[in-house]
Structure 1
Amino acid sequence: MTANSDKSKQDNKAAHRVLADVLCGASVLSLVLSLVMPPISQAIASDTQTVFTEETVMGCSK
């Protein structure tokens, strides 16, 4: 019975470790995305504005 109890404790620790790793990874990914997305969004908006301005100046429309 003690062997089963020890095995169960080890399985619990392993499961907690995996869960902690997943949560930590998700937190890091969230942090990285929060730092990277605003400049990307701003660059996309800037590119869109540039294309719109060029089309207006050139008199071209698609």
Structure 2
Amino acid sequence: MKQSIDNLELLQLMERKQKLLLKLKAALALGRIDLLKELSYEFQTIVAQEQILIYFKQKKV
């Protein structure tokens, strides 16, 4: 059960990451540097959360 919860969390993070990548691409096309900075910070946070989940998932195996 815990593994499925971890997988679900990873899937949700991946979906958020995909949406953010689209927003980053749009902000880049529009030349909105302020928005790029904000979105890139959020993207880094998601990547860090993803890495933590993967680390703990591997440690349990």
Q: If the length of structure 1 is used for normalisation, what is the TM-score?
A: 0.47
TM-score, normalised with respect to structure 2: 0.48
Higher-Rg member (1/2): 1
Greater RCO (Cα-Cα under 8 Å, separation 6 or more): 2
